[in-house]
Structure 1
């Protein structure tokens, strides 16, 4: 099966003519228009966007076959994906796709292995890393340069500097040397 990359989500209908709000997770939100069709999580074509404009941090979108408010309402919450092979190659070692981080080993600034990166979520206030520590409940950490001073996709790990209240470093093991 083709690897899919999550790029956008339908938020709500907008007006009565079938337009809807789309939250784009692309660096340039309008670049989502370059990928048609957009797929659902099963890899089935879900939407073909025909027009879009920016509006208060989202896009107002028109799509094929969505001609009224009821059809737009039915799309609410739909997550949209593009095929990985359709995205440009990452050329700079400091650049990566969020999907490349899933499953990476999570290390502390002291090199201790803290767990694995389970996922990356964005609930509207920025990216949150969903970290699964060894033998404990997962927790979220804001994905900022301060909290994540190093990302090394090629070597398979990220380094985090978690706040003291998380207390995950007590159960950590030293990382093996590469």
Structure 2
């Protein structure tokens, strides 16, 4: 299975180093010296990491055969892809790879079916499960311990304990404005997604 682990940024210095935007929780494993990575576009690789170091909070990599700023700049925006065994698990037992979570059934603790995980969105503050409901609508569920109480890969399900309004289609949305115009201040009913 192929996983995107980084995106190459701009060249750094004149000796072929590049900045990288890390897209893996295991950079020391995936982006260490000697790692051979596939690329997108494929014509840019494969690339073998020669050295890596952190400079001013950014990871800098140098690849074998890339010796000057022009060659490094030509790699800008290239995605770095690791070939990973599909059965491999992250070191932390509470972490999962995206491919392990895709298509899991999402259920309440009592077994009520909510839908299936169709996509995982990685935001700066948290990850979101994009859940496709049986009626075809989508629901966003924050992947946080308070809401996603259990991931059971053997049973292929994610158990959730949602707060009120997260999956309830009858949630009320009340305007916070209080300017005396009654037509603008009335509570409106809508779907929460």
TM normalised by structure 2 equals 0.65
Structure number having the greater helix percentage:
1
CA RMSD of aligned residues (A): 3.5
Q: Relative contact order: is structure 1 or structure 2 higher (C-alpha 8 Å, sep ≥ 6)?
A: 1
Unpaired runs of at least 5, structure 1: 171-178
Measured in 2, the distance between the counterparts of 1:20 and 1:101 equals: 32
Partner of 1:130: 130
Shift of 1:110: 3.6
Shift of 1:101: 0.9
Partner of 1:53: 53
Partner of 1:40: 39
Task: Tell me which structure has the larger Cα radius of gyration.
Answer: 2
Measured in 2, the distance between the counterparts of 1:137 and 1:73 equals: 43
Unpaired runs of at least 5, structure 2: 171-193
Which residue, 5, 17, 21 being the options, matches 2:3?
A: 5
C-alpha distance after superposition, 1:121-176 (max 9, x if no partner): 32433433232223344344332211211101111011223444443578xxxxxx
Return 145-154 or 84-93, whichever deviates more.
84-93
- Write out aligned runs for 1:87-102 (5 A): 88=88, 94=94, 96-102=96-102
TM normalised by structure 1 equals 0.70
Aligned residues: 168
